[in-house]
Every structure is written in structure tokens, then in C-alpha cells.
Amino acid sequence: MGEHAETHEFQAETRELLRLMIHSLYKNREIFLRELISNASDALDKLRFAALTKPQWMEGDERLVIRLERDASARTLTVIDTGIGMDRDEVVANLGTIARSGTRSFLEHVHSTKSGETAPEGALPELIGQFGVGFYSAFMVADEVVVETRKAGEVAGVRWRSKGDGTFTIEAAGGLARGTRITLHLKPLPEDEDDPQDFTQEWTLRSVVKRHSDFIAYPIELEVERKEGEREVVTLNSMKPLWTRPPAEVKAEEHTEFYRHLSHAMDEPLESIHFRAEGTFEYTALMYLPTKRAPTLFEPEKPRSRLALYVKRVLIMSECEELLPPWLRFVRGLVDSADLPLNVSRETLQHARQLKPIRNRLTKRVVESLAKLLENDRAKYVDFFAEFGATLKEGIYADDDLRQDVAKICLFATTKDKTPASLHEIIERLPVKQRELYYVSGETRAALERLPVLEAATKKGFEVLLLVDAVDEFALSRLESFEGKPLRPLDKGTIELEDDAEKKEREEKESELKELPDAVKSALAAQPTPVSEVRFTNRLDASPAAVVYGEHDLSPHLVRRMREAHQDVPDATVVLELNPRHALIQALEQRRGADATGFAEACELLFGQALLARGEPLADPSRFNELLVKLMLK
Ligand code: ADP
């Protein structure tokens, strides 16, 4: 440690992460190298891009390379890049004090999967990249790490050093080349393994680089000994950007590695979509559908698109929102075009008319590929939909052109089947008498199954969609109809469920109770939850009453959710529907003329129980309680 080194404490969560890394006994430790090379490659991308406007940052040295150096007797491995480097503040922020956004969710994930002691074999490396905590994986193999770095265009360099024990030191360092050198003081080789990987050996480095980093666009160089005393620098990776090769030639394993590099994930891509568009505007697109949801998919501040934009193989933007709509934000990949200027910026892109047709074409391709998967490999599609369905359904809501196409590949559970089916399949199996496709939406399937508004429909053998994702109600109300079947919320507005005979029978019952609805409405006039209308129902069977809502209102659980997200939404209009066939309603009618107070209290109780049956909270539970006790005493 130099004389002027300052000691800093790691931020608490980073400390915990480091402890995990240091004590990990995981297989697959080799992925630390993929992470460091990936960071080096990013740093080179950044420099290449920055140099388009600041050519002086190249400092007259245009060689963009990654170099591995090793010393078997000192047991060190050094990963060197000639990229953009970091200044002092960046080193402090990136490698220590600021909580990396992924760290907390990473730790939560580890704790939740690990139930106390040991995580399942291999789970940790799988999680590392996904949460953006890649650098720290160096501590899986090293007991000390030294980072020396000099930012392009600056004179002063920085040396960071840590044993991963809770603190790190920082000091000024002179004489550094542009870029970053990360030296790992490797742990002793584990004695309990038969054939431990030695990261100072040529063969180990060769195979690890080939396995995980072959497609890196910069040379990864290593000095090797050819014959006695003769040394030579070799490039370990083939460097050929995978997307520039003819699609038919790219092997599945190559796609897997490239997808993992792009997405920092460890799953397999479910599908890869790779094509070259020719014509007035030429580009290559390579898109991957993942199998596993990234933990950040629903975090609102996360990128709304995950496709990178390249111009002539130069990375311009790692997340270009213009290339795919937000409802396909789970798709990973890139577009490379020779027909855009190299100096495009985020601002000019928003106006780049060329991107709109690309976006349309890519969106269509993804939807088509999902439709094919649904048709050809149902089981695989069902797994995919369980992970990404909620995101995909946003497309029904958001995309005016593709609404019906997206609806076609969405799956829904119903009253008849927990296993989700497509709207087409559901419509095919509807009873002939069911003219409309009904749905109800709420928090859980269990809560929905108990809703009184389902009674009459269920009794008739009708099938009702049970929606539990927040997006569902927005999506289906926007969809309006599918294959000619109107889509209707079963608990909103009025509904035609009966045939003529049933209707006639109900209306007869109602005629004996003609004045009841108005009387109930007046009795409820002072309720804290305003009731806009009281009317007879055709939705109920066993229940005396139900709460339903205005035709175009959002369900109350959504109103609550949106308010929690600080959105301004009006309350749903509440309608109380009475079941004219129910003995309780007929008894209520008798009470009406006879006992004014008793009638009013019974109405309150009836309304309260209807709210409870709907799963809605009571505005004044103690009042309800009081009335209930009074009733029980009678
Ligand atoms: P991630 O790469 O997922 O952001 P890391 O913990 O691996 O997370 O790295 C943290 C940050 O440190 C990077 O985002 C980058 O800004 C910086 N960094 C890491 N390695 C390098 C490097 N070789 N050159 C320049 N900056 C780097």
C-alpha cells in the first residue's frame, strides 16, 4: 500500500455480497473471467463511441484490445483493457461505495433461494451477471484484487485495492496506460478437487475464453510459450460478431453464449430470431426470447427496451427504445445497420424516420415467432407465458395495429380450467348459448371463484375468464371483442344472460317487489360508500345481493393499485343488485312497510354483506358489527 492510500469502507450490501463471493465453494467459478472480459469489452465500446466526437481520447493509440497476463509462480492473473478507464470518482462509485442497483435484489434472491445456509450448487454464478454485480465475482477466485486504471484523456491514474474484507484503499498511480488493469491474486488451488482449474495455465484460459467470450468483438490476447524460451502473443477468441454471419451457420450453443453475454443471464434463449433486411434501408437483427424473467422486468425505472443499436458494428446505444415497444422489453438482442450515420445520438434517433419501419418489422417478427411456438410447442409456450405473459398482454392494450395478433397468443385461466388457454380455444368450447365472453378481474383466483356475480353464469354452464394480472382488465376492455365474440366484464353494467322464459319468470317475481329498489336506495342514502343505483339482477343465484360497477369503470382493486402508484383515478360507480328470487329479498319487502328502522338497518347489512362478498372493505366496519350483533340478539 502506498503512503497516500486512503481507506474506504464498502457500502454494507456490497460487504455482504463480497462475503458471499469469498466463501463461495461454487462450481463454475470460471465465469468471473467472462464478467471481467465483458466489463473490458464494454469499456472498449465506450471509448470507441466517445472517440467519434473526441478523437483525442484515443491518445494516438487506436489499438482496442483485451490482454490476459499471468504469473504462475506469483499466482496472479491480470485482465487488461485499453478502454475508457475510470477516474477517481468513478472508481469509488463503481467499485465500492455506491450501492450497485443490482446488489440488494441479488442478495434478496440469494437469501430467498438459499433458506439459511448453502445455495444450490451453481446458483450463485447464475445470479451474478443478472444482477450487475459482475466485478465482485473476482473474489470467488482471488484473495486480493488490484485495479489500476486511467481514464482516456486524463493524466492521473488511480489504484484500487481490496482483500474483500470490508474495506478498500485508493491511491493515485502514475505511469499508467489508458484503460484498466485488474490483477487478481489467486487463491491457492483447492486441495479437495481432483482437477482444479488453474487460471494461470494457458489451456485453462483458452478453454474458458472460448466457452464464454469467443464472440467478443475485440481481440483477447495471451502470451504463450511456443518452444523453449520462445514466446508469442495469440488471440484466444475468433472475434467474429455472431450477427454478421449467415443466420443458418450460427450454432445453437453460439447463440446461447452470445445471449448470455448480452443479457448477463445464465438461462438458455427460448428462441433466436436472426435475419438480414435488405432494400433501401439495410440492417441485421438478432433477437432472443429469454426463458427466465430478469428480476428487474417490472421495475418502472428499468429500460423500456433491451435491444442494442449498432452502426457498422460500432455499439451506439446498448438500450435503444426506438427499436421495440415496451411490451416486448423482455426481448434481448441488437440491430446493426450500415445505413445510419455513426454520430447518431439519442436525440436525433427520436426523429429518425428510418427506425419506425424497423420497429414495426421487429415487433411483427417477435409476435409471429411466438405464435409459431404456441402452435408447435405448447408446453414450452406455456412456460414462456408464465414468465412473460403479463408483459406481453400490455401489447393488447398498447398496440393499435397488432392488438388482435397479440390477443391471439395470450393465455387466460377460466372458471372451467386453471390451465390457461388461448381466447380462440376458449371460444371454441363455449356452450352454444353463451353469446359473449365474460370476465371478472381481481387479486387472486381463489377470491374470484367465490364472487356471487358468477352464480347465474356458472349455473348455466357458461365459462368466465378469471383475470388476476393488473394489465388484464385494461387489455380486455381495449380489445372489446375477439373472433366476433364481444368481451364483457361480468360485474359491470348490465348483462344479458337469460333466455326468454327465464327472463319472464324473473320479471314476474320483480313485479311483486316493484317499489323495493327505490326504497333500498333511499335507505342507503347516508352510506359512506355512495350507491348510485339499486336494481334487480339476473347475475345471482344463491346470493341475495351483489355489488357491481359502472360499465366503463375500473375495478376497485385496480383503483387502489393505481392510487398507490400516485395516479389520479375516480372511484368506480357502485350499483347494488338484488336477487328477486331470494327469500331474504322477499322478506325485506315485507319489512318495508312494517318497520322503517328495521328495514333501513337490514338494507345496510345487506349492502355490507354484498361488499364483503365482493372482497371489498367496509367503510364503517364497527357500524356493521353493531348492526350484526343487534340482529343476532333478535
Ligand atoms: P456491471 O458491469 O454489471 O455494471 P460490475 O460490478 O461488473 O457491474 O461493474 C461496475 C461498473 O464498474 C461498471 O458498470 C463500469 O462502469 C465499471 N467498470 C468495471 N470494469 C471496468 C473496466 N474494465 N473499465 C471501465 N469501467 C469498468
b/e burial code for range 609-621 (CB count within 10 A of at least 16 → b): bbbebbbbebeee
The strand pairing partners of 271, in sequence order, are: 289
User: Which protein residue has the closest C-alpha to ligand 1 atom 23?
Assistant: 40
Residues 619 and 556 sit within 8 Å (Cβ to Cβ) = no
Q: HSE, CB side, 13 Å, CA atoms: give it for residue 561.
A: 12
Residue type, 73: S
- CA atoms of 250 and 166, how far apart (whole Å): 44
- CA atoms of 451 and 15, how far apart (whole Å): 49
User: Quick one: CA dihedral 124, 130, 136, 142, positive or negative?
Assistant: positive
- CA atoms of 148 and 564, how far apart (whole Å): 46
> Ligand 1 within 6 A of 333 CB?
no
Q: How many CB atoms lie within 10 A of CB 505?
A: 13
Tell me which residue of 431, 246, 277, 389 sits closest to 339, measured CA to CA. Answer: 277
Atom of ligand 1 nearest to the CA of 35: 7
CATH code 1.20.120.790 region(s) in the chain: 500-633
Total-model pTM? 0.76
> Ligand 1 within 6 A of 129 CB?
no
**How sure is the predictor about 260, in pLDDT bands with cuts at 50, 70 and 90?**
confident
Q: How many CB atoms lie within 10 A of CB 483?
A: 12
Q: What distance in angstroms lies between residue 177's CA and the mean position of ligand 1's atoms? A: 18
Instruction: Write the CATH number of the domain with boundaries 393-489.
Output: 3.40.50.11260
| Per-residue model confidence as pLDDT tens digits over 544-580 | 999 999 998 999 999 998 999 888 998 889 999 999 9
User: Which protein residue has the closest C-alpha to ligand 1 atom 21?
Assistant: 39
Q: How many CB atoms lie within 10 A of CB 258?
A: 24
The strand pairing partners of 317, in sequence order, are: 309
User: Quick one: CA dihedral 479, 482, 486, 490, positive or negative?
Assistant: negative
User: Which protein residue has the closest C-alpha to ligand 1 atom 17?
Assistant: 94
> Ligand 1 within 6 A of 134 CB?
yes
Determine what percent of the chain is predicted with pLDDT higher than 70.
Answer: 90
Atom of ligand 1 nearest to the CA of 136: 6
* Residue whose entry in the numeric block shows the C-alpha cell 405448447: 378
Tell me which residue of 383, 368, 394 sits closest to 290, measured CA to CA. Answer: 383
- CA atoms of 138 and 381, how far apart (whole Å): 37
> Ligand 1 within 6 A of 318 CB?
no
Atom of ligand 1 nearest to the CA of 129: 3
Q: HSE, CB side, 13 Å, CA atoms: give it for residue 517.
A: 18
Q: What distance in angstroms lies between residue 136's CA and the mean position of ligand 1's atoms? A: 10
pLDDT of residue 105: 65
Q: What share of the chain is helix, strand, coil (3-state, %, to 5)?
A: 40, 20, 40
The strand pairing partners of 275, in sequence order, are: 285
Atom of ligand 1 nearest to the CA of 83: 24
Instruction: Write the CATH number of the domain with boundaries 242-374.
Output: 3.30.230.80
pLDDT of residue 128: 59
Q: What is the DSSP letter of 617?
A: P
Of 301 and 372, more confident = 372
| Per-residue model confidence as pLDDT tens digits over 541-550 | 999 999 999 9
pLDDT of residue 602: 95
**How sure is the predictor about 257, in pLDDT bands with cuts at 50, 70 and 90?**
confident
> Ligand 1 within 6 A of 133 CB?
yes
Q: What distance in angstroms lies between residue 41's CA and the mean position of ligand 1's atoms? A: 10
Atom of ligand 1 nearest to the CA of 46: 25
**How sure is the predictor about 333, in pLDDT bands with cuts at 50, 70 and 90?**
very high
| DSSP letters for 274-323 | EEEE-SSS-EEEEEEEESS--TTTT-TTS-S--EEEEETTEEEESS-TTS
> Ligand 1 within 6 A of 91 CB?
no
Three-class SS state of 441: strand
* Residue whose entry in the numeric block shows the C-alpha cell 350507491: 531
> Ligand 1 within 6 A of 135 CB?
yes
Angle between helices 470-479 and 556-564 (to 10 degrees): 120
User: Which protein residue has the closest C-alpha to ligand 1 atom 20?
Assistant: 39
Angle between helices 31-53 and 202-213 (to 10 degrees): 60
Q: What distance in angstroms lies between residue 20's CA and the mean position of ligand 1's atoms? A: 19
Superfamily classification of domain 6-195 = Histidine kinase-like ATPase, C-terminal domain (3.30.565.10)
Residues 265 and 292 sit within 8 Å (Cβ to Cβ) = yes
> Ligand 1 within 6 A of 128 CB?
no
> Ligand 1 within 6 A of 40 CB?
yes
**Substitution site in 86, 94, 101, 176 for ligand 1 pocket (most atoms within 8 Å of beta carbon):** 94
Q: What distance in angstroms lies between residue 95's CA and the mean position of ligand 1's atoms? A: 8
pLDDT of residue 262: 83
CATH code 3.30.565.10 region(s) in the chain: 6-195
CATH code 3.30.230.80 region(s) in the chain: 242-374
> Ligand 1 within 6 A of 148 CB?
no
Residues 324 and 331 sit within 8 Å (Cβ to Cβ) = yes
Determine what percent of the chain is predicted with pLDDT higher than 90.
Answer: 65
Architecture of the domain delimited by 500-633:
Up-down Bundle (1.20)
> Ligand 1 within 6 A of 544 CB?
no
Residues 6+ apart with CB under 8 A from 336: 241, 243, 244, 283, 284, 309, 310, 311, 312, 313
For 181, phi and psi rounded to 5 degrees?
A: -120, 125
Atom of ligand 1 nearest to the CA of 264: 3
pLDDT of residue 13: 79
Of 338 and 398, more confident = 398
Residues 99 and 11 sit within 8 Å (Cβ to Cβ) = yes
Q: What is the DSSP letter of 94?
A: I
> Ligand 1 within 6 A of 467 CB?
no
User: Which protein residue has the closest C-alpha to ligand 1 atom 10?
Assistant: 94
pLDDT of residue 116: 42
Segment (H or E) for 171? strand 167-173
**Substitution site in 20, 32, 39, 263 for ligand 1 pocket (most atoms within 8 Å of beta carbon):** 39
Dihedral angle over CA of 406, 410, 414, 416, nearest 10: 110
Q: What distance in angstroms lies between residue 372's CA and the mean position of ligand 1's atoms? A: 38
b/e burial code for range 589-606 (CB count within 10 A of at least 16 → b): bebbeeeeeebbbbbbbb
| Per-residue model confidence as pLDDT tens digits over 444-499 | 999 999 999 999 999 999 999 999 998 999 999 999 999 999 999 999 999 988 88
Atom of ligand 1 nearest to the CA of 179: 24
Q: How many CB atoms lie within 10 A of CB 412?
A: 23
| Per-residue model confidence as pLDDT tens digits over 186-239 | 999 888 777 889 999 999 999 999 888 888 889 999 999 888 888 999 999 988
| Per-residue model confidence as pLDDT tens digits over 5-31 | 899 998 887 888 788 777 765 667 888
- CA atoms of 437 and 374, how far apart (whole Å): 22
b/e burial code for range 18-36 (CB count within 10 A of at least 16 → b): bebbbebebebbbbbbbbb
Residues 516 and 588 sit within 8 Å (Cβ to Cβ) = yes
pLDDT over 90 at 143, yes or no? yes
> Ligand 1 within 6 A of 269 CB?
no
| Per-residue model confidence as pLDDT tens digits over 416-448 | 999 999 999 999 999 999 999 999 999 999 999
> Ligand 1 within 6 A of 604 CB?
no
Three-class SS state of 167: strand
User: Quick one: CA dihedral 30, 31, 34, 39, positive or negative?
Assistant: negative
> Ligand 1 within 6 A of 180 CB?
yes
Atom of ligand 1 nearest to the CA of 40: 23
**How sure is the predictor about 133, in pLDDT bands with cuts at 50, 70 and 90?**
low
Q: What distance in angstroms lies between residue 88's CA and the mean position of ligand 1's atoms? A: 14
Q: What distance in angstroms lies between residue 443's CA and the mean position of ligand 1's atoms? A: 40
User: Which protein residue has the closest C-alpha to ligand 1 atom 14?
Assistant: 94
